[in-house]
């Protein structure tokens, strides 16, 4: 035998005369990735053993020994005293081998009535629920940070943009709440990913079920699953729940990236709308004056890798026949990366928002540029009986004249407005007052002060409801 070959004690090794080489053993192993699911694997095995004893498939003594042995393995892993051996291939075989070495024949009876196929699917679902819930908690924290800064800066006026051109003035609170609602939808997507994973696969065996009298409903209750898989072939080959989680992560990262984009240009000298904390900025190795929004840029950059995680799994799954295929071993690494990346990004963003200083005066000054009261001036004419299209043309010409004279609409007197059109009276000046422009947006969901105050109340109510939903 070559030096790079060695005999393997793989639990499936009885069928084979030759063992994998050290290289191929490492190439085929998922242990470096799936060992983070050890708690789910132990929980699933304990529930399975309890059910086997309850059904009379194994003795109660065997079940007790298995539970005690699994608890001991878990304590060693938790304490960092467990040695993971790549020969074990995955976390499932690693735990079972250590269990059997510790308690003997009883450990060998644990796998009765199950396959690694349904065991892997169950562990992945159990772990995915925990990951979804953890991200949902972090999403709540970011939403709370956005709600806090919106409340603290209620009444601050800033420019609103379309096409990155100044459009109409809005309240800064309204702008922040737009992101609050985006992340609220992300919370809903994470809850949907949790629900998609909340189905027990154990009991499906390799693909066709088993001849043992298993009580799958009992195992589902023990593990906290809401339902039992209806079809054994689907149960072992379904990875939609991981795609749902990766998709939820991707959309959330997209929303974070949009917010980062605004933070990046808001913090520039050209805008100066906000000042980032030094804790979320870095300097230049050559330019002493620089204060760079690097953490916002990093989140924006990491969005691409999370998209890649989703696309990778979609591509892996697209041509697989029923039922289980080894390709599915590639299902976890990308999803775990997406979850870790989003989780870290949520923590950074929440901290960045909570420590961000809003330059209210600069924002307000910016709201006077760009002729953002033009629509209101056209609406004023409509109120005087002028058709909107005609009013639009009148104000458009007025804006052109102001541009040539280097004036803003607010700098025009009532007399100057009347020279443009006879319908402009003394009260036309109020039509371009920035505060009144904002206040007049009274429609539900608009940027008017009273509308935003109501929106803040609804956002707080929704945050409380979602917090209670998680039992937080």
Residues taking part in catalysis:
163, 284
Residue 349 and residue 259 in contact, taking contact as beta carbons nearer than 8 Å: yes
Residue from 126, 119, 129, 343 nearest 244 by CA: 129
Round to whole Å and give the CA distance between 210 and 283: 63
Residue from 252, 203, 250, 41 nearest 130 by CA: 41
Assign 3-state DSSP to the chain and report helix, strand, coil percentages, each to 5. Answer: 65, 5, 30
Residue from 328, 407, 339, 305 nearest 132 by CA: 339
Residue from 106, 102, 122, 98 nearest 40 by CA: 122
Rg over alpha carbons for the chain, rounded to the nearest Å, is 31
CA distances to 185, 254, 325, 466 from 191, in Å: 10, 18, 28, 10
DSSP letters of 151-179?
HHTTT-EEEEEETTEEEEEEEHHHHHHHH
The beta strand positions in 307-437, using DSSP E, are: 357-358
Round to whole Å and give the CA distance between 139 and 348: 12
Is residue 278 exposed (0-12), middle (13-18) or buried (19+ Cβ within 10 Å)? exposed
Which residue in the block uniquely carries the two structure tokens 């520039």? 268
DSSP designation for 267 = T
In sequence order, what are the beta bridge partners of 165? 162
Round to whole Å and give the CA distance between 224 and 43: 10
In sequence order, what are the beta bridge partners of 160? 168
Residue 409 and residue 371 in contact, taking contact as beta carbons nearer than 8 Å: yes
């Amino acid at each position: 035998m070559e030096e790079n070959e060695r005999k393997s004690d793989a639990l499936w090794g009885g069928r084979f005369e030759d063992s994998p080489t050290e290289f191929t053993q490492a190439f085929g192993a998922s242990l470096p990735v799936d060992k983070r699911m050890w708690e789910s694997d132990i929980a699933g095995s304990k529930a399975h053993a309890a059910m086997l004893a309850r059904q009379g498939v194994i003795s109660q003594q065997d079940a007790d020994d298995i539970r005690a042995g699994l608890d001991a393995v878990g304590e060693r892993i938790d304490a960092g005293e467990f040695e993971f051996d790549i020969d074990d291939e995955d976390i499932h075989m690693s735990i079972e081998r250590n269990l059997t070495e510790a308690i003997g024949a009883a450990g060998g009876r644990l796998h009765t009535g199950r396959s690694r196929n349904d065991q892997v699917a169950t562990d992945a679902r159990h772990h995915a629920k925990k990951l979804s819930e953890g991200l949902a908690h972090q999403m709540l924290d970011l939403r709370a940070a956005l709600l806090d800064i919106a409340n603290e800066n209620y009444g601050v006026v800033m420019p609103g943009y379309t096409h990155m051109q100044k459009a109409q003035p809005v309240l800064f609170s309204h702008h922040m709440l737009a992101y609050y609602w985006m992340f609220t939808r992300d919370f809903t997507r994470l809850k949907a990913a949790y629900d998609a994973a909340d189905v027990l696969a154990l009991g499906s065996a390799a693909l066709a079920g088993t001849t043992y009298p298993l009580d799958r409903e009992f195992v589902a209750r023990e593990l906290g699953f809401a339902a039992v898989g209806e079809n054994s072939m689907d149960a072992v080959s379904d990875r939609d729940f991981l795609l749902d989680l990766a998709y939820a992560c991707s959309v959330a990262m997209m929303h974070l990236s949009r917010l980062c984009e605004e933070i990046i240009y808001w913090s520039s000298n050209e805008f100066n709308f906000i000042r980032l904390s030094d804790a979320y900025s870095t300097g230049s190795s050559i330019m002493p004056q620089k204060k760079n929004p690097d953490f916002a840029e990093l989140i924006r950059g990491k969005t691409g890798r999370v998209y890649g995680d989703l696309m990778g799994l979609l591509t892996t799954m697209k041509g697989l026949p029923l039922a289980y295929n080894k390709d599915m071993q590639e299902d976890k690494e990308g999803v775990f990366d997406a979850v870790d990346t989003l989780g870290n990004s949520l923590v950074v963003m929440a901290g960045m928002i909570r420590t961000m200083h809003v330059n209210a005066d600069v924002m307000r000054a910016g709201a006077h540029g760009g002729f953002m009261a033009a629509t209101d001036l056209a609406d004023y004419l409509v109120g005087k009986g002028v058709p909107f299209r005609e009013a639009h043309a009148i104000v458009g010409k007025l804006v052109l004249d102001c541009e040539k004279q280097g004036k803003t609409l607010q700098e025009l007197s009532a007399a100057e407005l009347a020279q443009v059109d006879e319908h402009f009276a003394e009260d036309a000046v109020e039509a371009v007052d920035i505060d009144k422009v904002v206040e007049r947006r009274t429609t539900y969901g608009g940027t008017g002060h009273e509308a935003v105050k109501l929106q803040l109340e609804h956002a707080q109510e929704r945050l409380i409801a979602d917090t209670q939903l998680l039992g937080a």
